Chain A
Amino acid sequence: MRAVSEQIEIPTDPAAPPADSAVVRDALGVGVAVGLSGFAFGVTSAGAGLGLLQTCALSLLVFTGASQFALVGALAAGGNPFTAAAGAFFLGVRNAFYGLRLSGLLGLPRAVRPLAAQWVIDETSAVALAQPDRRTARLGFTVTGLTLYALWNLTTLIGALGASALGDTDAWGLDAAGPAVFLALLAPMLSGTVERAVAGLGVLLVLLCQPVLPAGVPVLVAALAAPVVLTVHGRMARDAEPGERR
């Protein structure tokens, strides 16, 4: 699931909070568009050999799209459960940082936090963080969370059931859904030179490692691209004379 902040209209006059109906409309738009792609996950997961119950458990319990696609991809490739889970987990770590931003904004009572936590993902964060005050942020978070959770799980079920009816899902091109989802999530993140360098090195590492390392491990090796590029970048910035910096 991608960060969709660019689709959300931020009110031009910050003094006037948006009408509730406008918040709900934005939230529904995001929830419905992304919720429907649970279908692609259901089909992909079933095509990867996971059972109906396993596929639905992933959408109900994990509920963070990229992690789910990563996990079924790694399992289909024959990865052991822990390397497969590690890749999925690393992708989920960003949700902790959304939570940090949201906790101050939403001001949730302690008792509600364990429930609200499951909905802390790219889309709900994007909608909530685009709102100017706590009341509209709570409204946006709740409507996006509810719509997306309900639709994502419903379309996962339909997709998983439909996969058997489709027969050979590869013939329908559905094995391209996973990588397309990853690319759509990645694209808005490639704004800077450092980000592009990390992505490029990540691709290089995974393709070099794929033929020689056990399934699941190449993606974890590719994750090293982040600290490596960050270190190199930091060293280059430090080495540059202050006068040479822009």
Chain B
Amino acid sequence: MTTWIAIGVTAAGCYLVKLLGLSVPAGVLERPLVRRLAALLPVALLAALTAQQTFSDGRHLLLDARAAGLGAAALALVLRAPFLVVVAVAVAVTAGVRAL
């Protein structure tokens, strides 16, 4: 039930912001500060989520095979690999390190 509540709230919220963008007159959300914050918020969240899902397990911080996978993904990004390759490299390296 908890999961369905989370899905419902997320679906409604995400749909409404999409519709809001298409519907409001240009200018309402175009204030420079609002635009700047809207661009930076995903940066903060994505960085935090990357770190959290790589270096933690519940409440514990830990360094395991996922860190190697993420390092490989970062290298793939530097080499301008396509999206799918980046994800595949992370998965393969993580699995490889665990299998050692």
- B33 CB to closest chain A CB (Å) equals 8
A179-200: CB near B (< 8 Å → 1, else 0) gives 1111111110110001100111
Q: Which listed segment binds B: A8-16, A19-27, A63-71, A237-245?
A: A63-71
Contacts of A176 in B (CB 8 A): 54, 65-66, 69-70, 73, 90-91, 93-94
Question: For residue B56, which residues in chain A have a CB less than 8 angstroms away from its CB?
Answer: 77, 207, 210
- Which residues of chain A are near B43, meaning CB under 8 Å? 186, 189-190, 195, 198-199, 202, 226
Interface size on B (CB < 8 Å)?
A: 72
Q: How many contacts A-B (CB < 8 Å)? A: 307
Q: A2-B83, A71-B6, A222-B44 are in contact. Are A179 and B54 (CB under 8 A)?
A: yes
The chain A residue sitting closest to B51, CB to CB, is A203
Q: Are B7 and A71 in contact (CB under 8 A)?
A: yes
Instruction: For the complex formed, measure the closest distance between the CB of B60 and the CB atoms of chain A, giving whole angstroms.
Output: 7
Q: Which residues of chain B are within 8 angstroms of A117 by Cβ–Cβ distance?
A: 15, 18-19, 21-22
Q: Which of A40-71 contact B (CB under 8 A)?
A: 40, 50-51, 54, 57-58, 61-64, 66-67, 69-71
Chain B neighbourhood of A102, CB < 8 A: 21-22
- Residues of A in contact with B, size category: 35 or more
Specify which of B10, B46, B55 is in contact with A182 (CB 8 Å cutoff): B46
On whether the beta carbons of B86 and A183 are closer than 8 Å, the reply is: yes
Q: Is the CB of B6 within 8 A of A84?
A: yes
Q: Are A194 and B26 in contact (CB under 8 A)?
A: no
Residues of chain B lying within 8 A (CB to CB) of residue A158? none
Centre residue among B15, B55, B58 by max chain A CB count within 10 A: B15
Complex CA–CA separation, A33 to B69 (angstroms): 21
Closest to A200 in B: B47
B25-64: which have CB < 8 Å to A?
A: 26, 29-30, 33, 35-56, 58-61
B residues within 8 A CB of A202?
43-45, 47-48, 51
Does A218 sit at the interface, judged by CB under 8 A? yes
Contact indicator B42/A66 (Cβ below 8 Å): yes
CA distance A181 to B66 in the complex (A): 13
CA distance A174 to B20 in the complex (A): 35
Among candidates A81, A82, A174, A186, residue contacting B47 with C-beta atoms closer than 8 Å: A186
Contact indicator A223/B48 (Cβ below 8 Å)? yes
Question: Given A173-B69, A211-B61, does the pair A181, B87 have CB atoms closer than 8 Å?
Answer: yes
Shortest CB-to-CB span from A136 to chain B, Å, is 19
Asked whether, in the complex, the Cβ of A99 is within 8 Å of the Cβ of B42, the reply is no
Known contacts A103-B22, A183-B86, then 18 further A-B pairs from the complex at CB < 8 Å, ordered by chain A residue: A37-B84, A88-B13, A89-B17, A95-B18, A99-B21, A99-B23, A100-B26, A102-B22, A121-B18, A172-B91, A173-B69, A174-B91, A179-B73, A180-B90, A201-B44, A202-B47, A203-B48, A219-B48
Q: Nearest 4 CB-CB pairs, A to B?
A: A99-B21, A173-B95, A173-B94, A222-B48
Residues of B within 8 A of A (CB): 2-7, 9-11, 13-15, 17-24, 26, 29-30, 33, 35-56, 58-61, 65-66, 69-70, 73-74, 77, 82-84, 86-87, 89-96, 98-99
